[in-house]
């Protein structure tokens, strides 16, 4: 696909969808290997950081993409070099380092915030809405443009800094129209959807299906060394006999997987909750590890208790 970016720059041959996708996969693999090496060397330190362990992961990704996609490397990461594509500005020149850093930040911040324990369940709705706009609005908008903006293949981070990804050795080029304005309408709709998502989740959390779990969740997150908790209900069937159980996964900031006392206290909290009175078993999973965003490592230990064992 050939394009004159924004109708003001040099004619270039736009890199195709699959070339960009494969190049990204190569780069993420390399970052993952680097993250696993760092995680292996600093496992306990990263585990104690909890959600903040994503900061060093983001820093590594920012340095890699920011430096390689700049003029220092001719706008090419390792993946882009292998696939014969590069990042340029509207004039067809490589980006400066600050501009390339900003380009990645627009893409990376939503990715690294996604799933990170930034706000708790009691966070004000406006803060939840802003975070949702940043994370889900950013991710959905990027994915939408990546797939459907076939004219220029620019996504949010490209539009933010006026860049595009082109073939490193383009063939015959010709200028075509800039980004279709209808894409901006879709981005606006996705932003509204992202802003409204927390309201829907707040209403869902206040329903009968989840209301009984919230007190147990709040109690468990106040336990020493518990970074965050996940409480859920499940069921199992064996030889035609069904059973119901309440489960809590506790992420720890210390290597306490063998702490049966902690597991038993957590099971007692589940049993004492409104939702625990009709359960056949209580499962507590102690989790210790790290998630850098580019790599993760976890250790688990599971404990199961019957109601009569907790009396």
Q: What confidence score (pLDDT) does residue 196 get?
A: 86
Q: Which of 177, 205, 233 is the last residue of a domain?
A: 205
- Fill in the DSSP letter of residue 11: E
Whole-model pTM? Answer: 0.86
Same domain, 182 and 217: no
Strands 281-291 and 241-252, bridge-based pairing: parallel
Query: Tokens standing for 106?
Result: 């627009």
Q: Which of 171, 205, 239 is the last residue of a domain?
A: 205
**Whether the Cβ atoms of residue 103 and residue 157 lie closer than 8 Å to each other:** yes
Same domain, 214 and 135: no
Q: What confidence score (pLDDT) does residue 176 get?
A: 43
Same domain, 194 and 240: no
User: Other C-beta atoms within 10 Å of 241: how many?
Assistant: 8
Same domain, 187 and 230: no
Q: What is the dihedral of CA 210, 133, 195, 191, to 10 degrees?
A: -140
Q: What confidence score (pLDDT) does residue 115 get?
A: 77
Same domain, 145 and 161: yes
Same domain, 81 and 157: yes
Q: Which domain holds residue 169?
A: 2-205
Cα within 13 Å of Cα(305), Cβ side: 24
Angle between helices 17-41 and 138-148 (to 10 degrees): 140
The count of domains in the chain is 2
Cα within 13 Å of Cα(210), Cβ side: 12
Ordered per-residue pLDDT tens for the chain, 311 residues: 555 554 555 567 899 899 999 999 999 999 999 999 999 999 999 999 998 999 999 999 999 999 999 999 999 999 999 999 999 998 889 999 999 999 999 999 999 988 777 666 667 778 888 888 999 999 999 999 999 998 889 999 999 999 999 998 865 554 545 788 999 999 999 999 998 888 777 666 555 555 667 788 888 999 999 998 988 888 776 666 778 889 999 999 999 999 999 999 999 998 887 666 678 889 999 999 999 999 999 999 999 999 888 87
Q: Which of 186, 205, 224 is the last residue of a domain?
A: 205
Same domain, 135 and 22: yes
Same domain, 135 and 261: no
Q: What confidence score (pLDDT) does residue 13 get?
A: 85
Same domain, 180 and 222: no
What is the CATH number for 238? 3.30.70
Same domain, 180 and 249: no
Same domain, 261 and 135: no
Give helix then strand counts, H and E, for the chain: 12, 8
Same domain, 99 and 78: yes
């Amino acid at each position: 696909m050939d394009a004159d970016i924004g109708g003001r720059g040099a004619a270039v041959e736009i890199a195709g969808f699959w070339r960009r996708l494969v190049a990204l996969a190569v780069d993420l693999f390399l970052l993952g290997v680097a993250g696993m090496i760092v995680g292996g060397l600093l496992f306990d330190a990263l585990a104690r950081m909890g959600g903040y362990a994503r900061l060093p992961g983001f820093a590594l990704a920012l340095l890699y993409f920011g430096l390689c996609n700049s003029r220092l490397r001719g706008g090419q990461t390792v993946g882009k070099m292998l696939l014969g594509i590069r990042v340029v500005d509207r004039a067809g020149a490589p980006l400066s380092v600050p501009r390339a850093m900003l380009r990645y930040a627009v893409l990376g911040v939503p990715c690294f915030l996604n799933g990170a324990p930034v706000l708790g369940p009691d966070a004000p709705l406006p803060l939840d809405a802003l975070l949702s706009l940043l994370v889900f609005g950013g991710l959905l908008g990027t994915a939408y443009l990546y797939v459907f903006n076939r004219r220029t293949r620019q996504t949010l981070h490209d539009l933010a800094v006026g860049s595009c990804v082109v073939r490193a050795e383009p063939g015959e080029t010709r200028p075509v129209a800039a980004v279709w304005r209808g894409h901006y309408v879709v981005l606006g709709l996705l932003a509204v959807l992202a802003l409204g998502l927390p309201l829907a989740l707040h209403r869902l959390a206040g329903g009968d299906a989840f209301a009984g779990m919230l007190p147990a969740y709040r109690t468990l997150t106040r336990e020493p060394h518990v970074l965050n908790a996940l409480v859920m209900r499940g069921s199992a069937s064996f030889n035609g006999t069904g059973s119901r159980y309440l489960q809590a996964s506790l992420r720890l900031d210390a290597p306490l997987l063998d702490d049966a006392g902690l597991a038993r206290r957590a099971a007692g909290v589940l049993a004492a909750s409104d939702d625990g009175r009709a359960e056949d078993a209580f499962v507590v999973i102690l989790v210790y590890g790290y998630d850098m965003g580019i790599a993760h490592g976890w250790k688990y230990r599971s404990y199961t208790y019957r109601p009569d064992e907790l009396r």
